[in-house]
Each structure stands twice: as structure tokens, then as C-alpha cells.
Amino acid sequence: GQQLNQSPQSMFIQEGEDVSMNCTSSSIFNTWLWYKQEPGEGPVLLIALYKAGELTSNGRLTAQFGITRKDSFLNISASIPSDVGIYFCAGQNDGDKLIFGTGTRLQVFP
């Protein structure tokens, strides 16, 4: 099935550092979503983006919907150990199915 490309694939950072990850697609999406998944759990929605160019924050998280509608990035500032997990982007078009990214695995060391 179709997947979105996320980079980096994994990140190992020290507590307090900022994190940036992005997601790209060959096709346009009208909505971009970012999820976090912890081991043995389902994904939890972090941020939803509905408009090209939109920049949205949720606490230490900031995400942007690319102008071309083919990409999005997620930033996490001042990382903490509980940020550990796998971050997935997902694209969606007007009631169509969610297409998930390949995931970015984040490890934070104290």
C-alpha cells in the first residue's frame, strides 16, 4: 500500500535537545496529521493540520503543513524522556482513508 516517506528513520538525542522530523509525499493531501505511538499501544493524535502553510503548536510540539501540500514537518522543543516513541505522519483527503508515514523512532537519553 501507499506510504509517506518520513525522515529521519530514527533519532537518538539527549534530553533538552530540539528535534525535527519531516514527511514527504508524491501526492497532495488536504489534511496532515501527526501521531505518537508508544510500544504496545495504538497511535495518539498530536497535531492536525488543515490548511497549506498552516503552522500549529501543541505545547512543545510545532507542526507545519507544507505550501505544496506534499510535505509536513514536526518539531519538538526541549525534549524530555517521555517523548520517546515512534512518530507517524498521516495524510488524508476529504473523507478518504488515512495514509501513514514510515515513522520516526525517537530515543531520548537523560
100 sits near other proteins (criterion: CB under 8 A)? yes
Q: Which stretch binds other proteins (CB under 8 A): 21-29, 41-49, 57-65, 72-80?
A: 41-49
Which residue has cell 524522556? Answer: 81
Please, which residue, 67 or 97, has the CB nearer to other proteins?
A: 97
Distance of CA 103 to the CA centre of its chain: 8
58 binds other proteins (CB under 8 A): no
CB nearer to other proteins: pick between 66 and 101: 101
Query: CA distances (Å), 14 to each of 20, 35, 37, 108, in order?
Result: 13, 22, 20, 5
Asked if residue 103 binds other proteins (CB under 8 A), the reply is yes
Q: Does residue 59 bind other proteins (CB under 8 A)?
A: no
Question: According to CB under 8 A, which one of 22, 25, 31, 64 is a site residue for other proteins?
Answer: 31
Chain contacts with other proteins (rule: CB under 8 A): 1, 3, 31, 33, 35, 40-45, 48, 50, 88, 92, 95-98, 100-103, 105
